[in-house]
A and B are shown apart, each in its own frame.
Chain A
Amino acid sequence: MQNNGKGTAVAVQVNNIYKTYGKKTVVSDVSFSVEKGEIFGLIGPNGAGKTTSIRMMMDIIKPDSGEVYILGEKFREETKNKIGYLPEERGLYKKQTVTETLKYMASLKGNAVSDKRIEEMLNRVGMLPHKNKKIEEMSRGMGQLIQFLVTVIHNPALIILDEPFSGLDPVNTEILKGLILELKEEGKSIIFSTHQMSQVEELCDRLFMINKGAEVLYGNLNEIKRKYRANSVFIAYEGEAGTLKGVTESRQKDGYTEFFLDSKTLPQDLLQQLLDKKVMVTRFEVGTPSLHEIFIRIAGANGDGNG
């Protein structure tokens, strides 16, 4: 078994990392791997240990034990040049202009960037006219976009984004989502950390869910959803459905009804019954729980002291 990701399609390999501050264990036995070219979600509520885990990946904090491999090797000072990191706690030099900021930050990554690339990047987010403005003159949203450009200006292979959408209005959120998906198409590996689980569902391929410093869920988003599927279907219909076999409970929702099925009944059995009754079905959907619901279910169980 490979455990450092060398020669494989693994961008980040985290093996059993622990971090304790005083008596408080912040991260406990966390392991996961991020594949090259995917968007990987690191999710969990505030204070779950996401940022600490990321800081250990970035070698800003040393883990008490465990190992981290980035792009197939142990962290060296040069490794930083291949990573673009957008921290949750972020800011820029207020007195520097946009262009100066991008140039300086890229040079700290050991990379001189051309004016052409800077202008291209600014143009992509529609901020070329502001290139000579000082950071302190920018609105908060604009500052956040510049901050994102700083993260990717040196063309890193691995991009780590900690709560990238915080402080962004819906328009800028869409711009940023577009940029992230473009980067994925370019083959970059992206780690995306957030407490807002709905964003993960939109963007991520695989995810690691952390709570109280430990793993809660890990794997492919679709597989997880299938696994935690509550046996229910969403149906919108016209006509009289009457009594349906195998339904334990039904809830009237806004424009549709959610039917909960017993363990022997499959969704298509229910559809068959409705068709037999000549009911006009306008919507039929197998109910998948949101990540949020899955989290509540698992975290709630853990909260009872079961594990």
Chain B
Amino acid sequence: MGKIKTIFKRELLNTVKRKSFILVTVAFPLLGLLVIGGIGFFQSAEEGPVNDIRIGYVDEPGDFNGNLTYGNVTLVPQEDWQSAFDNMSNGLISQFFVIPRDYMANGNILRYTFSREVDVPYEVYNTIEMFLLNNILEGKVDSSIANRVAYPLFLSNFTLSSGGEVSDQQGGFASVIIPYIFSLLLVMAIFTSSGFLLQGLGEEKENRVMEILLSSVSSTQLITGKVLGLGCAGLIQIGVWLVSARILADMASTSIGGILSGLSIPTDYLIVSLIYFVTGYLLFAIIMAGAGSIGATARESQQFSTIFTLMAVVPFFFMIQILESPAGALAQFLTFFPITAPITVIMRMAVIDIPIWELGVSIAIMVAAIFGSILLAAKIFRTFLLMHGKTPKLGEIIKTLRQA
């Protein structure tokens, strides 16, 4: 046990002191602060002085001559196309549109501007629409009807709990962004620490330190110390992230409001994230350690492990399906399959309450997979840790697993 502790301590300190580790750990909270600060800044900027927009129009039918002001947008009647163009050239109007004689028959409107646009600005489109609507309906219907035709609904949404109260998780944009960010963080935390493990083993093989280490400790002690040490580093990393995510979510919720006002991270979400970090990391670390002992160089080991990395991110490919039917068969299957479980569970958790039995089964399968892979990996370590220069063939690996 003493030796495991020695290795644990070295790996933990070595990792925590790495520049890349520190960078990744603080990058996320900093990025979050920056985004929140940025949104806040632009929001307050919008509330400052607003430019007046003057839109010219040529009224061929001659029925559109009232209701010319909409907030900061003013509509300016023009003689004909040529004078409208001249006024636009002189900067008196920023753009103009033509209402053709047969407008009432087909609704066609022709708009002209100098600026290149991806799409018609929402404000402009809206103003033209309101202007046409108001002029068509004016005098024909009651003003309240005209208003409702223009704005038929102001929607308020309530997600109810089973007891009939308004639930504190109201879904919407916040419910998509949270699982997305969280599953991304989980994957990053798992991959950074198990990646360090892989890299460390590769370096020890390349540096030829491995045989000296193995003459002092057993391969199991070595791997155990490494897995736990790097896991602890990963735990610190994800701890920093979770705490700062919660603080950032509160900040975003109050300072930005609007679409982010529902942004809060419940405690059970944090706990499940931690459970899946620990189990997911352990499983991955052991797989990575196996890959690390098989590959002749750090680079080759990395290639081996890519297969498992790809499997782990499969839930991202099916993110839409999982979020749309979080209780569906696909979501369930990916919850029970150990390699995809961590990300899938985090995604599903955000949109539904996963039944306790499903979580229980999923975690039980994770634990079983961890022990299974330890048994297999122990055989691989012993055989391949000292091999360098050549990578064993697939047949040799399978033979090793069968023997011993």
Residues on A close to B: CB < 8 A?
55, 58, 60-61, 77, 80-81, 83, 85, 87, 89-94, 104-105, 107-110, 150
Contact = CB atoms under 8 A, between A and B. Distances in A.
B3 A92 contact: no
A302 to B, nearest CB: 28
A109 B212 contact: no
Interface string B1-12: 011001100100
A146 to B, nearest CB: 12
Interface string B220-253: 0000000000000000000000000000000000
Contact of B207 (A58, A80, A87, A91): A91
B225 to A, nearest CB: 10
13 contacts: A58-B215, A60-B214, A87-B215, A89-B208, A90-B209, A91-B207, A93-B207, A93-B209, A105-B216, A108-B217, A109-B216, A110-B2, A150-B212
B386 A60 contact: yes
Contacts of A87: 208, 211-212, 215
The 5 closest A-B pairs by CB, nearest first: A91-B208, A108-B216, A85-B215, A91-B207, A87-B211
A94 B209 CA distance: 10
A107 B208 contact: no
Interface in B169-228: 207-209, 211-218
B200 to A, nearest CB: 10
Given A90-B208, A93-B207, A80 B10 contact: no
Contacts of B6: 104, 107-108
A110 B3 contact: yes
Contacts of A110: 2-3
Interface residues of B, number: 18
A189 to B, nearest CB: 16
B211 A80 contact: no
A148 to B, nearest CB: 12
Contact of B213 (A55, A107, A108): A108
A77 B218 contact: yes
Interface in B341-393: 386, 388
A109 B211 CA distance: 14
A252 to B, nearest CB: 48
A58 to B, nearest CB: 5
B215 A60 contact: yes
A92 B209 contact: yes
A69 B38 CA distance: 70
B212 A83 contact: no
A94 B207 contact: yes
Nearest to B216: A108
Nearest to A91: B208
A105 B217 CA distance: 10
A88 B209 CA distance: 11
Contacts of B7: 108
Given A80-B216, A90-B208, A104 B388 contact: no
A156 to B, nearest CB: 10
B217 A60 contact: no
B207 A108 contact: no
A94 B216 CA distance: 19
A59 to B, nearest CB: 9
A90 B10 contact: no
A268 B216 CA distance: 55
Contacts of A77: 218
